[in-house]
């Protein structure tokens, strides 16, 4: 190994008592490849196993916690106890290769296609429709339903524990339900769940509380709890960088193992709510980095990119997404001093070699600009 990359391979102890073998995680990425009943497929398990040998941690694709939270075709479920064997199958395959397995848990809210939820009853914080031709106007959740969903996050955490996972990541990013409650654009409520910044934080913080209570009650060994969030919104009436800094400050008080900031570019600068003297990531780390590790992500392709994010960007942990699809042996090649052999593009003939399920492969080929596909 080139000594300059040594820091990528340092073990990392988390607050819960779990130690990660290195600083690299497989980022959570939807793969559209589960069975219609929410169980994982063999192709999906093989895809994860192929990418679990080098990384310290695998964060799965998002897993719905209630039937009306299913956000994607081919998404796997954690909404009922019958899913535990399916969940266990995936956790065991990841852990057999040496990585920690973290189940990302989520509710899609207004992002859910009506065809995937019972009776097409799409719900959200308010009745604000999401942009897009195929989107419908959601129904505002009632007080009782809000509490039911909070409870469901705790129950799915219990199932993750029983299925043998090493942790869960609460998905509060990318426009899904927790994000919808935090956003003044999508949350127009006038009760305790909306209006002020404090009220808009109430739902995501309550979900964290339910998850941590489930861990305290059911986990018999150290169990990781992380939280993923988006730093700001594009909409003029959406939440700003300043709002997010208040959210992460509140989250840092809840003794999480890590925060995971959802970025397309690790080095991106704020739009509103903070000046451009620092990147979004640096603003977040400045605010809470001394209290909770902040996992970085976004357009990290090479060993040098990763090293720079750690040494110059101050990232204690890094999530790698697309690059680990293109190059499943990314971590191993760096460890072996073969970083020059890392593939950074793929061809239309690479599916079998890369062990990618058909639905994900078709999405890769037919989504312009998502992956660097060359002839």
- Residue 132's contacts (CB-CB under 8 Å, 6 or more residues apart) are none
Chain segment 57-92, per-residue pLDDT in tens: 999 999 999 999 999 999 999 999 999 999 999 999
User: 294 and 309 in contact (C-beta within 8 Å)?
Assistant: no
Residue 92 corresponds to which tokens in the numbers above?
A: 């065991």
- Residue 311's contacts (CB-CB under 8 Å, 6 or more residues apart) are 7
User: 193 and 69 in contact (C-beta within 8 Å)?
Assistant: no
User: 188 and 126 in contact (C-beta within 8 Å)?
Assistant: yes
Residues 281-288: contacts with CB under 8 Å, at least 24 apart: 281/313, 281/314, 281/315, 282/313, 282/314, 283/241, 283/245, 284/231, 284/244, 284/245, 284/248, 284/259, 285/314, 285/315, 287/245, 287/248, 287/249, 287/252, 288/248, 288/249, 288/251, 288/252, 288/259
Chain segment 112-137, per-residue pLDDT in tens: 999 999 999 999 999 999 887 778 99
* Eight-class DSSP state of 251: H
Q: How many residues does the chain have?
A: 375
325: pLDDT strictly greater than 80 = yes
Active site residue 176: yes
CB atoms within 10 A of CB 102: 29
Domain 3-374 maps to which CATH number in 2.30.29.30, 3.40.50.720, 3.20.20.70, 1.10.3480.10? 3.20.20.70
313-333 burial, b at 16+ Cβ within 10 Å, e below that, comes to bebbbbbbbbbbbbbbbbbeb
What's the whole-number mean pLDDT along residues 31-55?
A: 97
Does the global pTM surpass 0.85?
yes
Residue 115 corresponds to which tokens in the numbers above?
A: 């065809």
Give residue 132's pLDDT: 77
> Which run of H or E residues covers position 307?
helix 303-311
What's the whole-number mean pLDDT along residues 158-173?
A: 98
Identify the active-site residue in 47, 48, 176, 227: 176
| Average model confidence (pLDDT) across the chain | 96
Give residue 372's pLDDT: 93
Nearest to 167 by CA among 18, 50, 296: 18
256: pLDDT strictly greater than 90 = yes
DSSP for 28-83 reads P-----S-TTSPPPHHHHHHHHHTSSS-SEEEEEEEESSGGG--STT--B-SSGGG
Residue 183 corresponds to which tokens in the numbers above?
A: 């956003």
Q: Where are the domains of the chain?
A: 3-374
């Amino acid at each position: 190994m080139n000594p300059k990359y040594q820091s990528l391979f340092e073990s990392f102890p988390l607050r819960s008592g779990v130690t990660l073998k290195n600083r690299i995680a497989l980022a959570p990425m939807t793969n559209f490849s589960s069975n219609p009943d929410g169980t994982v497929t063999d192709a999906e398990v093989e895809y994860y196993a192929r990418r679990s040998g080098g990384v310290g941690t695998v964060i799965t694709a998002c897993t719905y916690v209630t039937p009306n939270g299913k956000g994607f075709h081919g998404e796997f479920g954690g909404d009922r106890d019958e899913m535990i064997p399916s969940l266990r199958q995936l956790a065991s395959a990841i852990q057999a290769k040496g990585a920690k397995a973290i189940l990302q848990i989520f509710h899609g809210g207004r992002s859910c296609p009506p065809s995937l939820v019972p009776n097409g009853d799409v719900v959200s914080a308010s009745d604000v429709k999401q942009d897009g031709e195929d989107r419908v106007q959601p129904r505002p959740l009632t007080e009782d339903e809000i509490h039911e969903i909070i409870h469901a996050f705790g129950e799915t955490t219990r199932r993750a524990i029983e299925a043998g996972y090493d942790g869960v990541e609460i998905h509060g990013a990318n426009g899904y339900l927790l994000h919808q409650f935090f956003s003044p654009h999508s949350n127009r409520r006038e009760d305790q769940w909306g209006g002020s910044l404090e009220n808009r934080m109430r739902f995501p913080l309550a979900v964290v509380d339910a998850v941590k209570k489930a861990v305290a009650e059911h986990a018999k060994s150290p169990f990781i709890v992380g939280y993923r969030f988006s730093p700001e919104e594009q909409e003029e009436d959406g939440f700003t960088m300043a709002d997010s800094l208040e959210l992460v400050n509140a989250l840092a008080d809840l003794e999480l193992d890590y925060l995971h900031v959802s970025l397309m570019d690790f080095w991106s600068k704020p739009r509103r709510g903070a000046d451009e003297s620092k990147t979004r990531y640096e603003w977040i780390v400045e605010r809470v980095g001394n209290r909770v590790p902040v996992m970085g992500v976004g357009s990290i392709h090479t060993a040098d990119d990763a090293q720079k994010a750690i040494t110059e960007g101050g990232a204690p942990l890094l999530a790698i997404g697309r690059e680990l699809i293109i190059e499943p042996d990314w971590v191993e090649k760096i460890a072996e001093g073969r970083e020059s052999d890392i593939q950074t593009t793929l061809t239309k003939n690479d599916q079998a070699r890369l062990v990618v399920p058909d639905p994900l492969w078709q999405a890769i080929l037919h989504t312009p600009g998502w992956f660097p596909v060359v002839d």
